[in-house]
Chains A and B, each alone.
Chain A
Amino acid sequence: MNPFQGGWAILLTLLVGMVLAVLHLPEASPPILSWLRPNWVIMMLFFWTLAVPQRMGLVFAWLLGIGLDVLLGEPLGLNGALLAGFTYVVWALHARLRVFPAVQQAVLLFGLVVIVEALRLIVLLTLNDVPPSWRFPFIALASAALWPPLRGILEQVQRACRVV
């Protein structure tokens, strides 16, 4: 009675993450908010890789990243590599990470997002002539801060859609 075992819920939350990634803020919002944009897609991926590691694949994460590359207008393959690498690391840490309380997971997520965003910046600085930006620790900070509530929401989704 549960077609695809809730796979569409995984896909849907990841799509929501992509929408949030390209959503632009209203003109009137304070500029500080644009520095505190979390990396939504990574957070969604983090949750599902911890919750149902057997359903997440490296190639899937990579394809997701290719979509993100085009959405964000970044070099093709950049987000693919970052997301696949991220998924692999989360897999490797999965056994310990899974039983951590949300706050401890948030700390680890902070570290991982800092690394991902720093790598992204390095690649962008090498390939494209972009001005250096010091946003990456703030992206990680926002991601970590929003992790506990997001985890709560996604757990509800997982239960409601019986993703196993």
Chain B
Amino acid sequence: MRRSGAGYVLVALLCVSLALMIVETNRPWLVGARAIVATVVAPIYIVAEAPYQFGGWAGEELSSRRELMDRNAELERRLLELSHASQQYLALRQENARLRELLGSGARLSADVVVAEIVGVLPGPTRHEVVIDKGKNSGVTVGLAVVDEQGLLGQIIEVGSLTSRVLLLTDSAHAVPVYVARTNLRSVAAGTGLADQLQLEHVADSADVREGDVLISSGLGGRFPSGYPVGVVSAVEREVGASFAAVYVRPSAAIARSRHVLVLFRVEASDGAGAAVTPPTAGRATPGGGR
């Protein structure tokens, strides 16, 4: 057994580790190094996810003709619905851009997207992070928002060449600025660490929030795009004497069930409204609205 000098090696390694941890917590210098390691270990995620991928594939291969036809019919129906809605949307968007021009506020940013598949879920009941199969090679960068077909899902926190890590809305370290669609009340929806719950922070006891209110991302803070559904208020608890009400929110996105997600790229000035990019929410301070 070669033990001679092993103690020194251990001390050296511990010192290096400590230095790495301290540097990483305080400075962004190690992002590149992490990305390189992430590229090397990416196949491990893919192997770990393989049983699920195979299960999905086998399920598709083995489904009967009848099921496929049913599904096809269902999808066609949805396509029709959505294309109908998108026709209206086009008209509304033009009208909206015109009105905003009149108001003198820039057009909202519309986003380019890339479709990604979730290839890994970080284990452990307290972690709310997933790994997606798009990375630097697809132009993904740290800070981009991720949505699924029903709403905001989270944001990119780490990028490798082929994969990136997404912090989900429900992680207790995550918060997203929102407003209540019905009243324009601004707030911040923070993760609770539970898979199906967010909580609104610092909502005054007297604030007008009800069960069933829809929350939309406000775009304040500049990290998330505005206008994406975040969740629906599931419960409001007001306690006599407390200064804040406890408002619980059920996320719109299928946090634990999404398979395919969209990464939203930030697009500088779009909709032909010129380069004057104002904060996305600048035009929304309607009278009688938020606090």
Residue ranges of A at the interface with B (Cβ–Cβ < 8 Å): 15, 18-27, 31, 34-35, 37, 53-54, 58-59, 62, 66-67, 69-73, 75-78, 80-81, 84-85, 88, 91, 94, 123, 127-131, 133, 135
Segment 1-57 of B: residues with Cβ below 8 Å from A: 1-3, 6-7, 9-10, 13-14, 16-21, 24-25, 30, 33-34, 37-38, 40-41, 44-45, 47-48, 52
> For the complex, is B231 an interface residue (Cβ under 8 Å from A)?
no
> For the complex, is B274 an interface residue (Cβ under 8 Å from A)?
no
Is the Cβ of B20 less than 8 Å from the Cβ of A77?
yes
Give every chain B residue within 8 A of A66 (Cβ-Cβ).
Answer: 37
Is the Cβ of A24 less than 8 Å from the Cβ of B123?
yes
What total of chain B residues lie within 8 Å of the partner, measured CB to CB?
Answer: 46
Give every chain A residue within 8 A of B122 (Cβ-Cβ).
Answer: 22, 24, 72-73
Given contacts A67-B37, A91-B3, contact A85 B10 (CB under 8 A): yes
Give every chain B residue within 8 A of A15 (Cβ-Cβ).
Answer: 44
Give every chain A residue within 8 A of B160 (Cβ-Cβ).
Answer: 70
List the B residue with the shortest CB-CB distance to A75.
Answer: B21
Given contacts A34-B125, A81-B14, A84-B14, contact A127 B1 (CB under 8 A): no
Residue ranges of B at the interface with A (Cβ–Cβ < 8 Å): 1-3, 6-7, 9-10, 13-14, 16-21, 24-25, 30, 33-34, 37-38, 40-41, 44-45, 47-48, 52, 120-127, 129, 158, 160, 165, 172-173, 193, 256-257
Give every chain A residue within 8 A of B41 (Cβ-Cβ).
Answer: 18, 67, 70-71
Interface centre among B20, B40, B256 (most CB of A within 10 A): B20
Is the Cβ of B48 less than 8 Å from the Cβ of A22?
yes
Distance between Cα atoms of A32 and B172 in the complex (Å): 21
Give every chain A residue within 8 A of B172 (Cβ-Cβ).
Answer: 130-131
Give every chain B residue within 8 A of A88 (Cβ-Cβ).
Answer: 6-7, 10
Give every chain B residue within 8 A of A81 (Cβ-Cβ).
Answer: 13-14, 17-18
Is the Cβ of B34 less than 8 Å from the Cβ of A76?
yes
Is the Cβ of A77 less than 8 Å from the Cβ of B16?
yes
Is the Cβ of A24 less than 8 Å from the Cβ of B121?
yes
Give every chain A residue within 8 A of B256 (Cβ-Cβ).
Answer: 27
Is the Cβ of B14 less than 8 Å from the Cβ of A25?
no
Given contacts A27-B256, A81-B13, contact A76 B33 (CB under 8 A): yes
Q: How distant is A44 from chain B, measured CB to nearest CB, in Å?
A: 14
Is the Cβ of A58 less than 8 Å from the Cβ of B6?
yes
7 A-B pairs with the lowest CB-CB distances in the bound complex, closest first: A77-B20, A77-B17, A81-B17, A24-B121, A70-B37, A23-B48, A75-B21
List the A residue with the shortest CB-CB distance to B45.
Answer: A22
Distance between Cα atoms of A77 and B30 in the complex (Å): 11
Q: How distant is A113 from chain B, measured CB to nearest CB, in Å?
A: 15
Distance between Cα atoms of A15 and B30 in the complex (Å): 24
Is the Cβ of B2 less than 8 Å from the Cβ of A54?
yes
What would 16 A/B residue contacts be, using CB atoms closer than 8 Å? A19-B48, A22-B48, A22-B122, A23-B123, A24-B121, A27-B256, A34-B125, A58-B13, A62-B13, A73-B127, A76-B24, A76-B37, A80-B16, A128-B173, A131-B172, A131-B193
Distance between Cα atoms of A35 and B125 in the complex (Å): 8
Q: B21: which of A22, A62, A123 is its contact (CB, 8 Å)?
A: A123
Distance between Cα atoms of A24 and B121 in the complex (Å): 6
Given contacts A34-B123, A81-B17, contact A91 B165 (CB under 8 A): no
Is the Cβ of A59 less than 8 Å from the Cβ of B9?
yes
Given contacts A75-B21, A127-B25, contact A80 B13 (CB under 8 A): yes
Interface centre among A37, A59, A84, A91 (most CB of B within 10 A): A84
